[in-house]
Each structure stands twice: as C-alpha cells, then as structure tokens.
C-alpha cells in the first residue's frame, strides 16, 4: 500500500523516490535541514513506514518464540529490535519494537508491513494473539531527541549503537567511541489523521537528512543494506537485534554457528567518498579493489560535515587497508574505507584476540 503524506503539501517539499516514496526528500534546503535534524530542532516525516500491531495476552511470548530477540520481559514503553530469519539465518524482516502494556507495535519499512502481517497471521495457531497491519491509520515522526510536547505519544528509542542484553559487538571500535552515539534516534507513533496538527509549525527535515545521519551512525537499514543473503553478523546487528542465549527460533542454528565457529562472508563498511566530482554514485554501484569487484554500495548521502559518504557491503577477505574505488557506470569515485564490522568477526569460541568485543 502506497501512502502519500499530507506534509508533501508544505512549501518547497520535493517527494522522495524508491523506498521513501510518499514523503518529502527535502523541503528546499537539504543540508540546512540536516543540521537542524542533528541539532534536534527539526523532525522528519516517516509516515511511509509500515506499522503492524500484535495484541492479546500471548503476544510477547509468541513473538519471543519466532524472533531473534528476548521479548518475554519487555516492559511497557521499553524499546528493542527483532529479526525474523529464514532457516538459513538470513534476514527476512527487521522490526522496531515497543509495547504499551496491551499492544506490541512493530515499526517496519513500508514494503515489510503487509508481508509481515500476513506471515505472522499464518503463525498464530491456537495462541491468543491478533495481528493487524495498521499502516493506513498510523504515521511515524523521527527525531534525534525526546520531545516534551509529545510525551503522550508512544515512542520507539533506537537501541543503536548500545550492545543489548545477550548481544555482541562485531565493530572495530568500542561502544564509547561508536559514531552512532552522535545520533540518538526516536520514532513517534502518531494517528495519521493528527499528523499535520502534531507537527504544527515545527521545522521539518526530509529523508535525505535522516539518511545522511543514519549512514554516518553506521546504522543498517532493511532493504538497503540487506539482500536475500544477509545474515545479522555482516551488519553488526547482533549488537541490537539478536539475543545469543535465548531459546530456539528459526535461524538460531546459523546465528550460533557463525558466531561461535565461523566468519560471516561479508562485512559492512563505511566509505568516505571523493567529493571533487560534485556528484554521488547510486546505491548498487560496484565497489572495487583494483580490478576486482568486492562488493556494492548500499546507501549514499551528502553529509553536512563530512561530504559524500556511503555504506557498502564487501567481501570479508578485503584487507582493512585496501584502497577501494566505487564505480557508477563509467564514473570512478575514490573511497577511503573505514572499518565497521571487523574482518575477523565471528569464531569467538576459544579465541580472545583480534578486533572482537566481548558480550555484555
């Protein structure tokens, strides 16, 4: 279902494309909007997000058996993230989770909502749960701070980059040095009919601003950094979306095997791109080491301080000091590689050396 935001009627609004269609990419000044969003004075319209609700007394224990996350003790208002995986451990759904004491709210990408609701409905069996895709009735607003005037709204607080209970960091930096700390992130659930009134005259930023801050925070996004082969370890999602010692769920065997005994075949990397061309490569552009294709750009943006930046997923075997080039058509872009997921990620049993960070 395609949702068109009423905020697209605001002056100078330019609609985004692709996964962000239906909301504004910007309102005329993308970099100024990005600064305002980073400072906490602007909010971003995310009403194209999907929203799925699960109600009933068995909702948390049921979701716990299906997902990668420990949910049985989730308190009202507490935020977390869950993954639903294939038998092979590949990411099928990635949901932001918050419970209000009666309903569990799953905030997802717009393209996930209907398939997720359908899949969950098929998995109900005899349990006391009800699933609904309420995307048409609810909108989402994003901010880098808690907004006092919206205290009555249910809010999801991104756990990134903190290592959650049962989680594990595959990053090369410690949690206290992670760039994600510079981007606290909150997503507010708003009745769709009240969206314009809730925003009022508050400054707006477009999705270009939100994406630039997300990329700089090394925060992966479903449908951008993921494909049909992605496992959580490749994107450092074990830190926020996987509980390594919870009970059985689909895909757990692969998660445990790669974590304990193996290595993920690919790794997420941050790229600082050469800005001298005054253009940006498209998502999907090849990443090369010399003449070899070693991966692809997954997200790209113009950051208000760093200039052109990108996330890419590349082969694990690429050396940490390898000089990379992004190629879009015939246009090459020099790319300085900044490690996110450690090249030696995984295989934690019996080894205490390397980049890996211990469990919390």
CATH of the domain at 332: 2.40.30.110
Pair 217, 279 in one domain: no
Is residue 7 pLDDT above 70, yes or no? yes
- 222 plus 299 within the same structural domain: no
> Are 136 and 281 found together in one domain?
no
Would you state the pLDDT for residue 355?
47
Residues 105 and 193 in one domain: yes
> Rg of the Cα trace of the chain?
20
Residue 131 domain flag: yes
How many whole angstroms separate alpha carbon 106 and alpha carbon 103? 10
3-class DSSP state for residue 60? helix
- 154 and 274, same domain (yes or no): no
Three-state secondary structure string covering 4-21 = CCHHHHCCCCEECCHHHC
Q: List pLDDT tens digits, range 284-300.
A: 999 999 999 999 999 99
Domain that holds residue 206: 6-233
Q: What is the reported pLDDT for 350? A: 60
Domain endpoint, select from 233, 254, 279: 233
CA distance 300 to 99: 33
If asked whether residues 305 and 222 sit together in one domain, one would say no
Q: How far apart are CA 193 and CA 80, in angstroms?
A: 27
* Listed residues 233, 255, 287: the one ending a domain: 233
Count CA atoms within 13 Å of residue 256 on its CB side.
13
Percentage of the residues of the chain whose pLDDT score is greater than 90: 92
Residues 325 and 178 placed together within one structural domain of the fold: no
Same-domain status, 158 and 273:
no
For 205-214, b/e burial (b = at least 16 CB within 10 A) is bbbbbbbbbb
The pLDDT of residue 360: 39
**CATH code (residue 140):** 3.30.1360.120
- For residue 92, how many other CB atoms are within 10 A of its CB? 18
- Cα of first residue to Cα of last residue in the chain, in angstroms, is 40
Does some domain include residue 35? Answer: yes
Average confidence (pLDDT) over 28-46: 98
The domain total for the chain is: 2
- DSSP states of 302-318 as a string? EETTTEEEEEEEEETTS
| Cβ-Cβ contacts under 8 Å for 321 (sequence gap 6 or more) | 337
Q: pLDDT band at residue 352, thresholds of 50, 70 and 90?
A: low
Query: Could you report the per-residue pLDDT of 212-235, keeping only the tens digit for each?
Result: 999 999 999 999 999 999 999 999
**Looking at the domain assignment, is residue 352 inside a domain?**
no
Quickly list DSSP for 66-132: HSSS--TTPPTT-EEEEEEE-TTS-EEEEEEEEE-SSEEEEEE-HHHHHHHHHHHHHT-TTSS-EEE
Cα–Cα distance list, 142 to 40, 47, 354 (Å): 10, 9, 37
Contact between residue 192 and residue 136 where contact means Cβ atoms under 8 Å apart: yes
Computed over every residue of the chain, the mean pLDDT equals: 95
Do 301 and 157 fall into the same domain? no
| Residue 10 located in a structural domain | yes
Q: Which residues contact 60 (CB under 8 A, 6 or more apart)?
A: 71, 72, 74, 99, 104
Q: What is the pTM of this model?
A: 0.95
281 and 221 part of one domain: no
- Is residue 252, in this structure, part of any structural domain at all? no
- Residues 229 and 276 occupy one common structural domain: no
353 within a domain of the structure (yes/no): no
pLDDT in tens, 84-118: 999 999 999 999 999 999 999 999 999 999 999 99
Is position 257 within any domain?
Answer: no
Same domain, 282 and 164: no
Question: Edge-to-edge strand order for the sheet containing 103-108?
Answer: 79-85, 91-99, 103-108, 50-55, 130-133
Total Cβ atoms within 10 A of residue 151: 8
In this predicted structure, the answer to whether residue 358 has a pLDDT above a threshold of 50 is no
d(CA 356, CA 349): 12
Burial (CB count <10 Å: 0-12, 13-18, 19+), residue 114 = middle
Q: Is residue 259 part of a domain?
A: no
């Amino acid at each position: 279902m395609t949702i068109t935001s009423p905020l697209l009627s605001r002056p100078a609004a330019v609609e985004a494309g692709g996964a962000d269609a239906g909301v504004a990419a910007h309102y005329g000044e993308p970099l100024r909007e990005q600064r305002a969003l980073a400072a906490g004075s602007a909010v971003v319209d995310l009403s194209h997000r999907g929203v799925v609700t699960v109600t009933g007394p068995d909702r948390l224990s049921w979701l716990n058996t299906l997902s990668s996350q420990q949910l049985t003790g989730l308190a009202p208002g507490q935020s977390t993230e869950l993954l639903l995986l294939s038998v092979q451990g590949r990411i099928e759904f990635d949901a932001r989770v918050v419970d209000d004491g009666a309903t569990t709210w799953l905030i997802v990408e717009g393209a996930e909502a209907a398939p997720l609701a359908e899949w969950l409905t098929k998995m109900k069996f005899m349990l006391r749960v009800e699933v609904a895709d309420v995307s048409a009735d609810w909108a989402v607003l994003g901010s880098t701070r808690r907004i006092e005037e919206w205290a009555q709204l249910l809010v999801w607080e991104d756990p990134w980059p903190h290592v959650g209970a049962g989680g594990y960091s595959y990053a090369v930096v410690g949690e206290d040095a992670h760039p994600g700390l510079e981007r606290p992130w909150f997503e507010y659930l708003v009745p769709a009919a009240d969206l314009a009134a809730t925003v009022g005259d508050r400054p707006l930023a477009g999705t270009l601003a939100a994406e630039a801050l997300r990329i700089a925070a090394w925060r992966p996004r479903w449908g951008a950094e993921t494909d049909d082969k992605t496992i959580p370890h490749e994107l450092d999602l074990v830190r926020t979306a996987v509980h390594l010692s919870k009970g059985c769920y689909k895909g757990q065997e692969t998660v445990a095997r790669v974590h304990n005994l193996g290595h993920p075949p690919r790794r997420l990397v941050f790229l600082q791109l050469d800005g001298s061309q005054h253009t940006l490569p498209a998502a999907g552009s090849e990443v090369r080491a010399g003449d070899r294709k070693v991966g692809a750009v997954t997200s790209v943006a113009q950051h208000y301080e760093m200039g052109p930046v990108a996330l890419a997923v590349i082969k694990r075997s690429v050396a940490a000091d390898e000089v990379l080039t992004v190629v879009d058509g015939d246009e090459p872009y020099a790319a300085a590689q900044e490690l996110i997921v450690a090249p030696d990620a995984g295989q934690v049993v019996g080894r205490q050396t390397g980049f890996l960070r211990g469990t919390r």
